[in-house]
Amino acid sequence: MVHHNPIAAGGTASGLTDTEQLMAVIRPRKHVKAYFFGHTHKWSVKRDDSGIHLINLPPVGYVFEAGQPSGWVRADILTNGARLELRCLDHAHKAHGQVMGLKWRAA
Protein backbone atom coordinates (compact mmCIF):
# COMPACT_ATOMS: atom_id res chain seq x y z
CA MET A 1 0.00 0.00 0.00
CA VAL A 2 1.25 3.42 -0.94
CA HIS A 3 -0.07 6.95 -0.81
CA HIS A 4 0.40 8.19 -4.37
CA ASN A 5 -1.55 7.03 -7.39
CA PRO A 6 0.19 5.61 -10.43
CA ILE A 7 0.41 7.85 -13.49
CA ALA A 8 -0.14 6.47 -16.99
CA ALA A 9 2.87 6.72 -19.32
CA GLY A 10 3.06 10.27 -20.62
CA GLY A 11 0.43 11.41 -18.11
CA THR A 12 0.54 14.80 -16.48
CA ALA A 13 -1.62 14.07 -13.44
CA SER A 14 -0.36 14.44 -9.90
CA GLY A 15 0.90 11.17 -8.50
CA LEU A 16 3.84 8.80 -8.41
CA THR A 17 6.36 10.33 -10.80
CA ASP A 18 8.38 7.13 -11.19
CA THR A 19 5.36 4.93 -11.89
CA GLU A 20 6.87 3.20 -14.92
CA GLN A 21 10.04 2.32 -13.02
CA LEU A 22 8.03 0.87 -10.12
CA MET A 23 5.75 -1.10 -12.44
CA ALA A 24 8.78 -2.47 -14.28
CA VAL A 25 9.92 -3.92 -10.95
CA ILE A 26 6.59 -5.32 -9.69
CA ARG A 27 4.92 -6.55 -12.91
CA PRO A 28 7.28 -9.54 -13.43
CA ARG A 29 6.93 -10.53 -9.76
CA LYS A 30 3.82 -12.68 -9.90
CA HIS A 31 3.48 -12.69 -6.11
CA VAL A 32 2.52 -8.99 -6.36
CA LYS A 33 -1.25 -9.09 -6.76
CA ALA A 34 -2.46 -5.57 -6.02
CA TYR A 35 -1.41 -1.94 -5.66
CA PHE A 36 -3.50 -0.06 -3.06
CA PHE A 37 -3.26 3.71 -3.06
CA GLY A 38 -5.10 6.91 -2.18
CA HIS A 39 -4.15 10.51 -2.93
CA THR A 40 -6.86 11.20 -5.53
CA HIS A 41 -9.84 10.94 -3.14
CA LYS A 42 -11.64 8.75 -5.67
CA TRP A 43 -12.87 5.17 -5.19
CA SER A 44 -12.06 2.82 -8.07
CA VAL A 45 -10.90 -0.70 -8.77
CA LYS A 46 -9.10 -1.47 -12.03
CA ARG A 47 -6.65 -4.04 -13.35
CA ASP A 48 -3.59 -3.31 -15.46
CA ASP A 49 -2.50 -5.39 -18.46
CA SER A 50 -0.23 -7.55 -16.29
CA GLY A 51 -3.12 -8.51 -14.02
CA ILE A 52 -2.17 -6.36 -11.02
CA HIS A 53 -5.25 -4.85 -9.38
CA LEU A 54 -5.11 -1.07 -8.92
CA ILE A 55 -7.27 -0.15 -5.94
CA ASN A 56 -7.83 3.56 -5.38
CA LEU A 57 -9.16 3.87 -1.83
CA PRO A 58 -11.87 6.44 -1.03
CA PRO A 59 -11.18 9.43 1.20
CA VAL A 60 -12.25 9.24 4.81
CA GLY A 61 -12.85 12.97 4.83
CA TYR A 62 -12.90 15.56 2.09
CA VAL A 63 -14.35 14.50 -1.28
CA PHE A 64 -12.86 16.31 -4.32
CA GLU A 65 -15.54 15.30 -6.84
CA ALA A 66 -19.29 15.52 -6.20
CA GLY A 67 -20.89 12.10 -6.03
CA GLN A 68 -17.76 10.26 -4.92
CA PRO A 69 -18.10 8.33 -1.67
CA SER A 70 -16.15 8.96 1.50
CA GLY A 71 -15.49 6.09 3.86
CA TRP A 72 -13.28 3.03 4.04
CA VAL A 73 -12.91 -0.40 2.48
CA ARG A 74 -13.18 -3.67 4.33
CA ALA A 75 -10.75 -6.06 2.65
CA ASP A 76 -10.94 -9.81 3.10
CA ILE A 77 -7.80 -11.34 1.62
CA LEU A 78 -8.38 -14.82 0.25
CA THR A 79 -6.09 -17.49 -1.19
CA ASN A 80 -7.20 -16.85 -4.76
CA GLY A 81 -8.28 -13.22 -4.54
CA ALA A 82 -9.90 -10.64 -2.32
CA ARG A 83 -13.31 -9.33 -1.39
CA LEU A 84 -13.51 -5.55 -1.03
CA GLU A 85 -16.58 -3.95 0.54
CA LEU A 86 -17.05 -0.17 0.42
CA ARG A 87 -18.36 1.25 3.69
CA CYS A 88 -19.53 4.84 3.14
CA LEU A 89 -19.78 7.36 5.94
CA ASP A 90 -23.13 8.28 4.39
CA HIS A 91 -25.04 5.00 4.48
CA ALA A 92 -27.53 6.48 1.98
CA HIS A 93 -24.79 6.80 -0.69
CA LYS A 94 -25.58 4.59 -3.69
CA ALA A 95 -22.17 2.87 -3.44
CA HIS A 96 -22.48 2.00 0.27
CA GLY A 97 -22.02 -1.74 0.66
CA GLN A 98 -20.66 -2.20 -2.88
CA VAL A 99 -18.67 -5.44 -3.07
CA MET A 100 -15.84 -6.02 -5.53
CA GLY A 101 -14.47 -9.52 -5.97
CA LEU A 102 -10.87 -9.72 -7.14
CA LYS A 103 -9.22 -12.78 -8.61
CA TRP A 104 -5.44 -12.95 -8.26
CA ARG A 105 -3.28 -13.39 -11.32
CA ALA A 106 -1.53 -16.73 -11.61
CA ALA A 107 1.83 -17.08 -9.92
Give the span between the Cα atoms of 58 and 20, in whole angstroms: 24
User: What pTM did the predictor assign?
Assistant: 0.92
Fill in the amino acid letter for 10: G
Q: Tell me the backbone φ, ψ of residue 26, rounded to 5 degrees.
A: -90, -25
Per-residue pLDDT of the chain (107 residues; tens, 9 = 90+): 899 999 987 777 789 999 999 999 999 999 999 999 999 999 999 999 999 999 999 999 899 999 999 999 999 999 999 999 999 999 999 999 999 999 999 98
Q: What is the CATH number of domain 19-103?
A: 3.60.21.10
Give the closest residue to 105 by CA, choosing from 38, 14, 27: 27
Give the span between the Cα atoms of 71 and 87, in whole angstroms: 6
